[in-house]
Structure 1
């Protein structure tokens, strides 16, 4: 039987307070069991606060993950931007380790003016290698660095690229699958079962970290503007079915604008298919 952790990207919209701790408590109250802590505009949480958050989440049974700042580019033309990006990733990871989060989602790089995709990938590999070395010095041992699959064709983040980075570096580097981004990057097509099998069989992952949301369609093309899952762009139910066919552990973080409303829709779909949360 799979183990599914389902929750929101950040504090639920219905939370009365706007602190992250209140957000985690609201997640539990809603009957969800995961939350991604959002550092997308910068890392503004102290190590002490991260530890406090982690203790609350562990006590009530909410699995935590973290999203690193958006402003990261390990393939920048400017060396100081690459260094700043590495620091932002490590700042995120130290907080994630303190709160007991299992992984961080990272938008690692844009191809930019690099003449070849391979050149950019090599730079990203080099930077990630330095980050892993520094991680050991900082005592970051439990957190995985999740390279997110990306919708934009200008970004590193095809399924093959994130799998390659994991294979060629270290098992602390993992794919962080955004199902909608992958769907868009593949021209509105996705084989959920094939992706799940590649992650578990090729990489030996024992837990998969992922995002789910709907995307807008403009001029016949899926674009990276998030919307409710009710639009089925991509559909959630086929993913739910493929998860339930497998004995896997997975986190599903809802990144739609409707956050917990859509997370609860996802929960209902899984329950209607026979999954029982809390078992």
Structure 2
């Protein structure tokens, strides 16, 4: 998992008011946070699926603090079908609203990270070129099939979900922006589901049905998500001075997931049936 590596997180008591939660971005993570993250967080708060934004400054975002009994979700929480369903319901509320007007493209992000990795001599795996080529095929197939841009969270990490009983909030809109909503769904499924039966049930929860094309799109987007974070991990391992965080290990883990999906015997079938 990666949790609170882009920012220092501080709880601040406010005179005459509720506590605030400050995200203070690390300088070495500046390229990993979209410039409109605060606007995205405000939009989510207005939709009732994110905490209120109290203020912002360069590299700092102040949010309403979700004190206990609120707690950070884990992958184990998301493996509960009802909890996963409520996360997908929250994401659907984002997708149903008007677009933000700011594009987030995971394919562009992958290419930017690949360029950065080459420039910094990050320890890429031997098959990096093949992985990038496979994702280019995914990009072409999805573009040919078409999609609508909707406001998306674009991050399926379990720790970006806060729980209080059945109440739920999405946090960390550092990668938010307009995108194919099925990428948003896929990143969440990719985090929570190990088996196809679980993936199909999650797709059905979101869409009311699970046809082959929706399932295939989620499987492909899951690999895209893994490659994006894998490249991020191995690149940040050489671009940050914070040696106490195992960026490389995390990146290798996500690259393994990407490799498994992109090398699956069904990969071409997923591409052809979108």
TM over 0.5: no
**Structure number having the greater helix percentage:** 2
**Structure number having the greater strand percentage:** 1
